[in-house]
Each structure stands twice: as C-alpha cells, then as structure tokens.
C-alpha cells in the first residue's frame, strides 16, 4: 500500500537547499527544528536498532547515539544521497521507498525504536492512522516510537497561528491546506483507539513531538 502523495512530496527538488532551509528558524514552519531533532536523539537509547521514516538528509540520524544501527527510509534518491555523505562512518542502511509501503511490507519486529521527523505530514490523516495501526501489529511489545512533526492543537489553535503570521508569512495558510499538518487532539484520540499511549511535547507554534508506547 503506497501513500497517495509520495511522488508529490518527494524532496528530490528540495535536496540541494534543504539543510540551509531548515537552519532558518525565523520561518514558523522551521522554528524548533534543531531542538526537536536533538530531543529525538536524546530520547533514543544507545546500542539499539532504529528505523528512521522519511530520513531526508540524515539530520535525525546524526543526532542519534553513535552506537545505534539505523535503517533510513526515504522516497527521495537525492535526499538519501546527501544523507549517505553526511553519515559516513555510522552504521546506516539506506532504503529508497515510500514509508507507508515499507511499514506494510517489512518485518518491523527487529527494531527497538522507530523515529520520524517532519515527514509524516506528507501522509493524509487516514494514511497516518493506517500506519499507526500497522505499526502496533508488527512491532515488538516494548517498541519506542518518537515522532516530531508539524502540528497544531486544534482548530482554534490553527486559526490563531495563521492569524499570528498572516503579515510576515502569508503563505502559511495555504501550507495548512496543501500539506497534512497534524491536529493533536484528533490524532491523540485516533492513536488511543489503535492501542497507543501518546505523550505530546510542543517545541514552537508548529513543532511538536509525540512519543508512543503500547498500552
């Protein structure tokens, strides 16, 4: 099962400028990026097998303990090529694939930790729901899942954020319709229905993490 927007959100065209782009945290979509990535790294135990979904240029893998053995999945050949250059010397396998297809097709029981940063908003909320139910079925009981992404608490919060940035970042309103930023309240209910216990943290107006363990 392939996600419906994998080709549209393939970052091949963004790859050359991606790391420069994420360093500009004056942009509300980028604010909190570094702190969030460092948090995901710090929450990942050393000497574990880690799956990174939507690994991009490898910034999250770089933040993980050096002793982790990582499988980095991304649909973009060019993002993965940049990651491979940055991650030389780390124990990393690179797989070019759609992340929903990967989770469906592969055995996930070998991974202690699943991480993903700023990638799952490229799946529709329905596809994310399918992914979380599939992960629940296929991962080991003690698996740890740490996700960072672009999120808002609820519709009032979204409207307040759009209003706050309407002068300096007028395109932000259309980002909310072009991409699938998470509604935290709705996602929390969906995750609980799938059996996950979810712990949420906010790093900026739009950057949040959620840590999942099985109930």
Interface residues with ligand SAM (CB under 6 A) are 3, 6, 9-11, 22, 54-56, 59-60, 74-76, 79, 98-99, 117-119, 122
Q: How far is the CB of 118 from ligand SAM (least distance, A)?
A: 4
To ligand SAM, the closest distance from the beta carbon of 192 in angstroms equals 25
Smallest distance, ligand SAM to C-beta of residue 98, A: 4
Identity of the residue, 50 or 75, whose beta carbon is nearer to ligand SAM in the bound complex: 75
Q: Which is nearer to ligand SAM, 193 or 201 (CB)?
A: 201
Q: Pick the closer one to ligand SAM by CB: 117 or 139.
A: 117
Closest CA to 53 of 1, 8, 113: 113
113 close to 143: Cβ distance less than 8 angstroms? yes
- C-beta of 1: minimal distance to ligand SAM in Å? 11
Determine the Cα–Cα distance for residues 212 and 198; give it in Å rounded to an integer: 5
State the minimum distance, in angstroms, from the CB of residue 115 to ligand SAM: 9
Is residue 176 within 8 A of residue 151, CB to CB? The reply is no
89: phi > 0 → left, psi -120 to 50 → alpha, else beta; which?
Answer: left
Between 156 and 171, CB nearer to ligand SAM: 171
The residue with its CB nearest to ligand SAM is 56
Nearer to ligand SAM, 74 or 190 (CB): 74
């Amino acid at each position: 099962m392939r996600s419906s927007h994998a080709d549209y959100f393939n970052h091949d065209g963004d790859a050359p400028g991606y790391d420069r782009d994420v360093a500009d945290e004056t942009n509300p979509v980028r604010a909190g990026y570094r702190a969030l990535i460092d948090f995901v790294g710090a929450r990942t135990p050393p000497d574990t097998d880690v799956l990174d979904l939507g690994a991009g240029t490898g910034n999250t893998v770089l933040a993980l303990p050096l002793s982790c053995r990582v499988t980095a999945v991304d649909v973009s050949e060019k993002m993965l090529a940049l990651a491979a250059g940055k991650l030389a010397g780390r124990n990393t396998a690179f797989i070019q694939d759609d992340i929903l297809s990967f989770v469906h097709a592969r055995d996930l029981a070998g991974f202690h930790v699943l991480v993903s940063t700023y990638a799952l908003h490229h799946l529709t909320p329905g596809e994310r729901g399918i992914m979380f139910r599939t992960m629940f079925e296929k991962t080991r009981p003690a698996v740890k899942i740490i996700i960072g992404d672009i999120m808002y608490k609820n519709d009032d919060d979204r409207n307040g954020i759009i209003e706050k940035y309407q002068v300096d970042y007028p395109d932000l309103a259309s980002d909310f319709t072009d991409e699938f930023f998470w509604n935290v309240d709705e996602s929390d209910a969906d995750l609980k229905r799938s059996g996950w216990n979810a712990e949420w943290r906010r790093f900026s107006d739009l950057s949040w993490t959620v840590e999942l363990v099985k109930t």
